[in-house]
Chains A and B, each alone.
Chain A
Amino acid sequence: QVQLQESGPGLLKPSETLSLTCTVSGGSISSYYWSWIRQPPGKGLEWIGYIYYSGSTKYNPSLKSRVTISVDTSKNQFSLKLNSVTAADTAVYYCARGRSSWNQWGQGTLVTVSS
């Protein structure tokens, strides 16, 4: 059973860059799509974007100008960078396997943006 685990700083200041990594264990990152999804406290889910193991990406148009997703197949990891964060980016960030439906999820990591 594949497992996903997010890691990265939990507290950022406005204008900083959010950087998270998702480590995939129990299976290979190859031959699958991998996504980032976030959930502001008490609110619904928002798809951020996906990456294929080969490196091709798609991003949510509302975040596209600030988002970069990358993959490191040698480490079985993929990563998220979100530039110029504001309080509106405060959320639980999940990594998940899939492109338009997601069948494996990490436990999520809370990222708070506050001065």
Chain B
Amino acid sequence: QSALTQPPSASGSPGQSVTISCTGTSSDVGDYNYVSWYQQHPGKAPKLMIYEVSKRPSGVPDRFSGSKSGNTASLTVSGLQAEDEADYYCGSYAGSDNLGVFGGGTKLTVL
């Protein structure tokens, strides 16, 4: 069982927006602004899409945005495109003894 909880699936039509949630606790998501999001296509390595809750690495489209409220972080993908279909994982800092925890992943389907 993963430390962070994500819905197993999400979907939307091209052009629409979809939001994926990531629920943790006051010991990880709720206590630190170190939430990150990763996109993973089949057979490929994960790709960092969002770090420190809402920052985008260079090269990531601004259609991807992140936010956090309490113990829940969210990734929003606006203007869905076919290439956005992938698995998405959230990650969080969880204190000095357990630095990295992940969610179980969400499969995003573009209808």
Contacts and interface: CB of A to CB of B under 8 A. Distances in A.
Most central of A45, A102, A106 by chain B CB within 10 Å: A45
B46 A45 contact: yes
A44 interface: yes
Size category of the B interface is 20 to 34
B18 interface: no
B89 A105 contact: no
Interface of A: prevailing SS = loop
Contacts of B100: 35, 37, 47, 50, 60, 100
Interface in B48-79: 48, 51-52, 57
B111 interface: no
Contacts of A107: 44-45
Contacts of B105: 44-45
Size category of the A interface is 20 to 34
B24 interface: no
Given A44-B89, A45-B89, A45-B91, A99 B99 contact: yes
Given A47-B91, A101-B51, A108-B45, 12 more contacts: A43-B104, A47-B101, A58-B96, A60-B100, A61-B97, A94-B45, A100-B92, A101-B48, A102-B38, A103-B48, A105-B46, A107-B45
Interface of B: 2, 34, 36, 38, 44-48, 51-52, 57, 89, 91-93, 96-105
